[in-house]
Structure 1
Amino acid sequence: MRLILLMVGLLLTGMLRAAGPEDALKEAETAFAEGNYAKAVEQYKALLEQGYTGSELLYNLGTAALHASDFGTARLALERALLLDPADPDVLANLEALKKQLPDQFEEVPPFAPVAWWRRLAGMLSTDAWSVLLILLAWLLAGLVFAKMRGLGLAGKPLPAWLLPTGAVVLVLGASLLFTRWKMLSSHKEAVVMVAEVPVTSAPDEYGQELHRLHAGTKVEVLDRIGDFYKVELPNGDTGWLPEEALERI
């Protein structure tokens, strides 16, 4: 079913080329069904390298990689799919299944509830959808202002005094949600450990004291960069330094 949705998505976006992705998708699905998850991962990665993308493709890649125990690839693909479609229940379920299999089990610091709620709300629509909604709200507010200036009303009655302020507040909220959604897609502050094992050190060099040892699939937040090292925050709130080559930004 998700393969069909992926095919439809590629067709609708006009990304089918002369060779097309149909064969690669079918090969990936066949490989997955036969338990050859490594081959399925290769096929999905090849499509990404050709320029195809989308939450369905990333979900399929993440799922195949999860079955292949390629936790770095699985986490990266599923997190990227979640960015594109934050409410997808299949992506969320597979992410939870993946986290339970990771070697690194942290007591995660829960996000501030209002911020988490706001991000979930922003993630309900794409940036394009929020943009269209914002334009419609702006035109509606402009129409209300025009009607107010001309003394027009509804059913022969003047416009309620609360209507314009409410419209302005809704417009500002819509703009804020659009900005939040854009930041979610463009900030690239989060990254995934892609190597089998890497030490977290106290300094941005090979001489720093080892604080932790992370494994493929662990997600961190990038705070700073010095040379070839990133300062990162671990899921439990601890900080340290990781070499750039050990990470890939979400």
Structure 2
Amino acid sequence: MKSIIHILICLITLSAFSQNDKRFEEGNDLYNQGDYTAALEKYESILASGKHSSELYFNIANAYYKLNHVAPSIYYYEKALLLDPNDKDIKNNIAFAKNMTLDAIDTIPEVGISKLIKRTTNSMSYDAWAKLAVAFVFLFVIMFIAYDFAYSTNKKRLTFLASNTALLFAIVALFFAFHKFQLDKSDQPAIVFAQESKIQSEPNFRSSEAFVLHEGTKVQVLDTVDVWKKIKLSDGKTGWILADDIKMLKKF
């Protein structure tokens, strides 16, 4: 009985994949014909089925860009970039889309040791750093055992040095693993969808207006209080925005 259910589940899954592939091709055909609205309907029906990919987000973003919808185009380019951060086409297109935004926000450059640490941390994923730390711990144990069984002074010196080096690298890898975990946890990007949003200095309408943002601007979410989100811009400015005015990028 279980095998029959398993077969039925496999058939349903294959059928869903086949339908999504068909919709994707139909959407591409409509896009090439210049019917961007109809293409979006095909692409978004795939999203509604629970499937997502960088290619799908990229095509949705392209369609919104052709329709001059600033916020959705940047939003879906950014989502595509999250799944495929090295894709040159996505990077090129998102640069064009950002030219349509009204807000010119500077970026505070990182310098010195903090820049080096962040670049090193982001060179690998959290899982990769954790696995590297485990590998060095394993190497430390092997070298420590070898030191214990070594008879000559030279071998003891060599294995002692190797074990301590492995332990040092394990600690460093563990540091970068936790740092990467914290960076990923604190990285909560969002895109402003409201055509114009007044940013308050406090999470209420009675507070003073800090500044104004427009659709398509990327922000970092720092905190949440009721219907308000505390945001930070790339130039360091902070303020509170209505939650309904933005869409979080990491929600798939």
Give your verdict on TM over 0.5. yes
Residue number in structure 1 paired with 2:48: 49
Equivalence map 1:1-250=2 (5 Å): 17-20=14-17, 21-112=20-111, 114-151=113-150, 159=158, 161-250=160-249
Does the C-alpha gap of structure 1 residues 249 and 115 become closer, same or farther in structure 2, counting only changes over 3 Å? farther
Does the C-alpha gap of structure 1 residues 237 and 171 become closer, same or farther in structure 2, counting only changes over 3 Å? same
Q: Percent identity?
A: 26
Does the C-alpha gap of structure 1 residues 124 and 162 become closer, same or farther in structure 2, counting only changes over 3 Å? same
Residue number in structure 2 paired with 1:10: none
Higher helix share: 2
Shift of 1:92: 2.8
Shift of 1:52: 1.9
Shift of 1:180: 4.2
Q: Secondary structure at the match of 1:69?
A: coil
Does the C-alpha gap of structure 1 residues 82 and 65 become closer, same or farther in structure 2, counting only changes over 3 Å? same
Does the C-alpha gap of structure 1 residues 91 and 43 become closer, same or farther in structure 2, counting only changes over 3 Å? same
- Between the aligned partners of 2:177 and 2:165, the Cα distance in structure 1 is 18
Report the residue type matching 1:101 in the other structure. Answer: M
- The worse-fitting range, judged by mean Cα deviation, of 190-199 and 85-94 is 85-94
Shift of 1:119: 4.3
Does the C-alpha gap of structure 1 residues 247 and 164 become closer, same or farther in structure 2, counting only changes over 3 Å? same
Q: Given the two structures, how large is their TM-score scaled by the length of structure 2? A: 0.74
Shift of 1:186: 4.0
Contact 1:76 1:192 in 2 (8 A): yes
Contact 2:134 2:170 in 1 (8 A): no
Q: Secondary structure at the match of 1:86?
A: coil
Contact 1:134 1:171 in 2 (8 A): yes
- The worse-fitting range, judged by mean Cα deviation, of 49-58 and 22-31 is 49-58
Shift of 1:124: 4.3
Shift of 1:65: 3.0
Residue number in structure 1 paired with 2:8: none
Contact 2:53 2:80 in 1 (8 A): yes
Contact 1:73 1:217 in 2 (8 A): yes
Shift of 1:216: 1.4
Shift of 1:246: 0.4
Shift of 1:229: 1.2
Q: Secondary structure at the match of 2:16?
A: coil
Q: Deviations over 1:13-40 (max 9, x none)?
A: xx95422120122122223322333444
Shift of 1:66: 3.1
Shift of 1:111: 3.6
Between structure 1 and structure 2, the one with the greater Rg is 2
Shift of 1:210: 3.0
Report the residue type matching 1:150 in the other structure. Answer: F
Residue number in structure 1 paired with 2:9: none
Q: Deviations over 1:171-216 (max 9, x none)?
A: 2333344444444544453221122221112332234333322111
RMSD over aligned CA atoms reads 3.3
Contact 1:230 1:241 in 2 (8 A): yes
Q: Secondary structure at the match of 2:224?
A: strand
Contact 1:83 1:185 in 2 (8 A): no
- Between the aligned partners of 1:207 and 1:60, the Cα distance in structure 2 is 42
